[in-house]
Amino acid sequence: MTKIDTVTVALTGASGLPYGLRLIECLLRAGKRVWVMYSQAAQVVAKQEMNLTLPSRPEGFQQWLQERYQAADGQLAVFGREAWFAPPASGSNPADAMVICPCSMGTLAAVAHGMSDNLIERAADVMLKEQRKLVLVPREAPLSVIHLENMLKLARLGVCILPPSPGFYTHPQTIDDMVDFVVARILDQLAVPHQLLPRWGESHHAGE
């Protein structure tokens, strides 16, 4: 796998915003450069799920993330949905990988059909055409045939479809433990080292 130094993280309006924010935190702590994009619906979800009021302007959200996670200068950038001159919008300067977490079914459908109506969709389209790593974390239940067909279409193009399905064999004690389980799987896809949870067989045995 190509070494990943820059990761685009997009937050959309599906349930599961704690996954996305924790992922941003872990990537920054791992020394990666992180480009962040977020939809208006993600702001609604943040208030509903985490009682967080995310700044509506990209500059404000960037400062909020910078202070919250102590990002180094130049390590973090936040782009608005219409920032067509942002680096992720062009194949001449793409990130090494992109994660849409959480990924709404609307965004997933747009990516599957090559839509580029906003920067999130365009950045994902760039990942596909440049054959870079793209990870989608879709949260919906149950799944319709349309959802499944869109996922299959993307999987055949090499996209990693990673539903946020925490396992219980690690004996999670808190919601944070369950969030970390999913984020660990995302980091594994990006080949980013972490210590969020033990590897299988390191501290327990199957059947215990």
| 181 conformational bin, left if phi > 0, alpha if psi -120 to 50, beta if neither | alpha
39 is in an annotated binding site: yes
The size of the chain, in residues, is 208
Q: What is the DSSP string of 6-44?
A: EEEEEE-SSS-HHHHHHHHHHHHHTT-EEEEEE-HHHHH
104 is in an annotated binding site: yes
Could you tell me which of 4, 31, 9, 196 has the C-alpha nearest to residue 96? 4
| Helical pair 58-69 and 17-29, crossing angle rounded to 10 deg | 60
90 is in an annotated binding site: no
105 is in an annotated binding site: yes
165 is in an annotated binding site: no
116 is in an annotated binding site: no
139 is in an annotated binding site: yes
> Cα–Cα distance between 123 and 100 in angstroms, integer?
10
Pair 122, 35: CB distance under 8 Å:
no
Name the token pair of 122: 């365009």
92 is in an annotated binding site: no
155 is in an annotated binding site: no
Cis link prior to 102 (omega < 30° from 0)?
yes
185 is in an annotated binding site: yes
Could you tell me which of 121, 98, 88 has the C-alpha nearest to residue 190? 98
Annotated binding site for dimethylallyl phosphate: 169, 185
Annotated binding site: 13-15, 39, 104-107, 139, 169, 185
Annotated binding site for FMN: 13-15, 39, 104-107, 139
